[in-house]
Structure 1
Amino acid sequence: MSSSPYTGHAPSGSVELDSRIIPFFENFYRVSDSQTADDEYVDALTKEGTLIMGTKKAVGKDEIMTLRKGLWSGPVKKRQHHLHRIYPFTSQDVMIHGSVDYELHNGQDVTVQWAGHAQFVESEDGKLRMRFYQVYLDSAPVAQAAAK
């Protein structure tokens, strides 16, 4: 078992997970935790992909870039994702569960559980990309810690 916080594990079962998905998420959450990897983050989705993060929705590369930049414009100074489990519906349609540790600009630390739904496709250039990614996360603990 890897000690990387980005390594997820899929339970054994009847659905065979695409072997590229776990390494995809390992890289994606590493990129997500970097303030300077905007292009790489956006490139993880298709050109017309949909990203839903809580109450925010972005469709297409330009809107996804705007949403991505907004993730770093608030109270969060650093983030560290931990990917716990990947639950496949099909080989390229998965639910995921993890947590994220936040360090806020005011010095507060907060850990929040999250879940996500991702649908993958093979893009024209042969890369695996998400055509849909939705994150379910309670932002109240971050807002409360930011207000301290």
Structure 2
Amino acid sequence: MSTYKGEAPSGSVELDPRIIPFFEKFYDVSDTKGDSADAEYVDSLTEDGVLIMGSKRGNGKDEITPLRKGLWSGPVKTRKHHLHRIYPFTPLDVMIHGSVDYGLNNGKSLSVDWAAHAQFVESDDKKLRMRFYQVYLDSAPVAQAASS
């Protein structure tokens, strides 16, 4: 069973049916290191997309690319996302809840809960892309485990 699948609660707002498969692929790519995965990750956002992770912000693909590469330059050796729930505000505007298992360069491992907000648009090539993606995650446990 895919850990990237997630569920959408039943309610009055219907989730665009392309969003769950989008996130299955997106978090698989998020958990993969390398130039090819970096390019695929960045292609998940629009040309002028906004990516915010904690205090880090990238506006447009030229800023998002180094931000994505930087996610692999610190203490994290491996990551495995688990997508738990997707909450739609509109069919293309969602909140996401999940957790991520980290393997650190020092051999330690830990799991951290996270949430994210994503706004989608359909691009000219009919693909869904995020025009806005913000991740809410407490990075203190990773920093603490990396330094101890």
Q: Calculate the TM-score normalised by the size of structure 2.
A: 0.98
1:123 aligns to 2:129 (yes or no): no
> How far off its partner does 1:72 sit?
0.1
> How far off its partner does 1:62 sit?
1.1
Tell me the equivalent position of 1:18.
Answer: 16
Q: Distance in 1 between matches of 2:77 and 2:62?
A: 23
1:6 aligns to 2:4 (yes or no): yes
The DSSP-based 3-state class of the residue aligned with 2:2 is: coil
The DSSP-based 3-state class of the residue aligned with 1:69 is: helix
Deviating 4+ runs (over 6 angstroms): none
Q: Which runs of 5+ in 2 are unaligned?
A: none
Tell me the equivalent position of 2:45.
Answer: 45
The DSSP-based 3-state class of the residue aligned with 1:98 is: strand
Q: Distance in 2 between matches of 1:101 and 1:55?
A: 21
> How far off its partner does 1:34 sit?
0.2
The DSSP-based 3-state class of the residue aligned with 1:131 is: strand
The DSSP-based 3-state class of the residue aligned with 1:24 is: helix
Q: Calculate the TM-score normalised by the size of structure 1.
A: 0.98
Counterpart amino acid of residue 11 in structure 1: P
Q: Distance in 2 between matches of 1:62 and 1:94?
A: 25
Tell me the equivalent position of 1:96.
Answer: 96
> How far off its partner does 1:21 sit?
0.1
TM-superposition CA deviations, 1:20-63 (whole Å, max 9, x none): 00000000000000002000000000000000001101000011
Q: Distance in 2 between matches of 1:8 and 1:62?
A: 30
TM-superposition CA deviations, 1:69-124 (whole Å, max 9, x none): 00000000000000000000000000000000000000010100000000000011
| Percent identity for Structure 1 against Structure 2 | 75
The DSSP-based 3-state class of the residue aligned with 1:27 is: helix
- How many corresponding residue pairs? 146
Counterpart amino acid of residue 146 in structure 1: A
